[in-house]
Amino acid sequence: MFLCSSFRVLLVSLSALLFLDTSLGRNLHRDFHIAWGDGRGKILDHGKLLTLTLDKISGSGFQSKDEYLFGSIDMQIKLVAGDSAGTVTAFYLSSQGPTHDEIDFEFLGNISGDPYIVHTNVFTEQQFYLWFDPTKDFHTYSFIWNPRHVIFAVDGTPIRDFKNLESKGVGFPKNQPMRLYSSLWNADDWATRGGLVKTNWTQAPFTASFRNFKANACGWTSPSDTSRCSSGSSSALSSGNHQVWMTQELDSRQYRRLRWVQRKYMVYDYCADLQRFPEGLPPECTLQ
């Protein structure tokens, strides 16, 4: 009887390990590796800080060692300060292959004193000004990704909620695992005022900093994990509060905050871009 009970406990423990919990602020060496940049990306301070640098020769980037299929992911980021026009700091989830999915934050640099633009993308784009200076201190940027929603949040305030409307013919990222990536690169052909403002290389090198990565997520190791990571899986909910993100959605207070951000700080919404969609807006624009 003792052996059977111990074995059941072991199985439950192993099942729980499949759900990655980095909420205690694990060493960044354990979660990421520098993917490119010839030494311009660095993990510092015994794994507590990661920096990406851009100069005229190259930018840099990192990626997660784990893949995820749904989760709640936070990263604190301090963006490039000063005259950062032409630079883009990207923080995003992406799968591999020709039909890959992406869930993106892209931070578009600016002439010193102008506000940063945050570009969000899940198949289609919305852009926002931030209501603070993101270069003075670290701020938390979050993805909540589950079978029903992709929610973007800044310091806990939701700025976008992309809902699963597959039943209405709208695509939704739910079948492909994704890694977490970040990069700092030169995009002065389009990033600042549509490419009108070029990168001022006298201000280089440009640096963005990252810390306090947290991920409560379903770790992916094989195609059989699809059922384990689905909303109906009993193991997906077996670790209690760690898996609340699997069914999370905005409550009434969060929805009011979302509308406040969209009303005051949204600068581009594909659902209002009649020039881009002259034959009619995408169906989710009337369904969200």
Rounded to an integer, the average pLDDT of 186-210 is 87
Annotated catalytic residue, options 102, 125, 249, 279? 102
Domain boundaries, the chain: 28-220+243-286
Give which of 118, 119, 109, 114 is closest to 206, Cα–Cα: 109
pLDDT at 20: 61
Beta strands in 155-205 (DSSP E): 157-163, 179-186
CB 139 within 8 A of CB 76: yes
pLDDT at 238: 36
User: Is the pLDDT score of 14 beyond 90?
Assistant: no
User: Is the pLDDT score of 242 beyond 80?
Assistant: no
pLDDT at 3: 40
User: Is the pLDDT score of 235 beyond 50?
Assistant: no
Rounded to an integer, the average pLDDT of 100-109 is 95
Select the more confidently predicted residue: 14 or 78.
Answer: 78
CB 90 within 8 A of CB 185: yes
**DSSP code at position 81:** P
DSSP three-state, residue 78:
strand
Annotated catalytic residue, options 106, 166, 279, 284? 106
- Taking the whole predicted model, whether its pTM rises above 0.75 is answered as yes
Rounded to an integer, the average pLDDT of 264-277 is 96
Q: Would you report the helix, strand and coil content of the chain in percent, each value rounded to 5?
A: 25, 40, 40
Contacts of 18 (CB under 8 A, 6+ apart): 218, 219, 221, 225, 228, 235
Q: Is 106 assigned a catalytic role?
A: yes
Q: Is 284 assigned a catalytic role?
A: no
User: Is the pLDDT score of 260 beyond 80?
Assistant: yes
User: Is the pLDDT score of 171 beyond 50?
Assistant: yes
pLDDT at 227: 60
Indicate the average pLDDT of the chain: 86
**Where does 28-220+243-286 sit in CATH, by number?**
2.60.120.200
User: Is the pLDDT score of 42 beyond 90?
Assistant: yes
Give which of 247, 249, 234 is closest to 18, Cα–Cα: 234
